[in-house]
């Protein structure tokens, strides 16, 4: 038999002998007020916690959750639509690139080689406010350095007309001085090369500026076509 005594400060649990005497045979632990180790108190705490069913029955919680979900769906939809719009604009904008480049020699001393570079708009809208600067030089090496392209777009760049979709515009460029004896000798031995560096800037129909950088090299002097360099060919 056990008797529970509560004196408002502590709780005693006293077990009595089976003979009915008041002599306690064992006293269990006591707890401070506010602390509970009983199963009933723990179950009561669990029932006091808000449950999902209670939350769903509360109109305020349902309203807040609905608004948050609606806002999340709107944000996701806006991001998807924006991405699709950017992809559509990228597919419809102007793109200027080199279609072909040819050069007229021969590589003899005191001659001035001349090249023609064909620029094509491969996009689906016109390229506006187009400017181009091309420079032909004798590259005194058989490799390219690690630094960025040295050519910059300056005020003396040639202003071109509007280039429509699919249109091709030729650009001529020559050496600024005749080939010297030393240059002609190295070009014949193919340890030096003729290189064309170029920058073309333009604006698409949405007003966004773009730039195409090109690097062309004349490796096979027996042919008239220039090929792309292994670097410095970029377009945005």
The list of the chain residues with pLDDT below 70 reads 1-57, 61-62, 81-91
CB–CB of 93/121 below 8 Å?
no
Query: In this structure, what DSSP letter does residue 43 have?
Result: H
Q: What's the CATH number of domain 96-235, 2.40.50.100, 2.60.40.1180, 3.20.20.70, 2.60.40.10?
A: 2.60.40.10
| CA dihedral of 164, 165, 167, 168, whole degrees rounded to 10 | 110
* pLDDT at position 189: 87
Q: By CB neighbour count within 10 A (0-12 exposed, 13-18 middle, 19+ buried), where does 199 fall?
A: buried
Distance separating alpha carbons of residues 151 and 133, to the nearest angstrom = 9
* pLDDT at position 117: 96
Q: In 140-188, at which residue ranges do the beta strands (DSSP E only) sit?
A: 158-159, 168-174
Q: Domain locations in the chain?
A: 2-39, 55-92, 96-235
* pLDDT at position 88: 46
CB–CB of 187/179 below 8 Å?
yes
Distance separating alpha carbons of residues 87 and 100, to the nearest angstrom = 28
* pLDDT at position 81: 67
- Give the pair of three-digit tokens for residue 83: 């991405």
């Amino acid at each position: 038999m056990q008797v529970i005594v509560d004196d408002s400060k502590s709780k005693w649990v006293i077990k009595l002998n089976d003979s009915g005497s008041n002599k306690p045979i064992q006293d269990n632990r006591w707890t401070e007020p506010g602390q509970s180790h009983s199963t009933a108190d723990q179950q009561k705490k669990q029932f006091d916690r808000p449950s999902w069913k209670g939350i769903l029955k509360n109109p305020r919680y349902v309203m807040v959750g609905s608004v948050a979900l609606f806002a999340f769906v709107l944000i996701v939809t806006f991001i998807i639509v924006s991405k699709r719009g950017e992809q559509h604009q990228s597919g419809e904008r102007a793109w200027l690139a080199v279609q072909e480049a040819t050069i007229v020699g021969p590589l003899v001393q005191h001659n001035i080689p001349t090249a023609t570079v064909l620029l094509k708009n491969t996009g689906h809208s016109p390229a506006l406010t187009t400017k181009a600067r091309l420079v032909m030089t004798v590259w005194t090496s058989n490799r390219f350095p690690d630094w960025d392209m040295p050519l910059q777009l300056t005020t003396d760049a040639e202003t071109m007309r509007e280039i429509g979709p699919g249109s091709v515009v030729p650009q001529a460029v020559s050496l600024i001085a005749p080939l010297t004896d030393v240059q002609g000798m190295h070009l014949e031995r193919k340890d030096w090369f003729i290189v064309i560096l170029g920058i073309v800037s333009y604006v698409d129909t949405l007003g966004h500026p773009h730039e195409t950088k090109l690097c062309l090299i004349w490796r096979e002097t027996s042919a008239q076509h220039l090929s792309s360099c292994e670097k410095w060919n970029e377009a945005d």
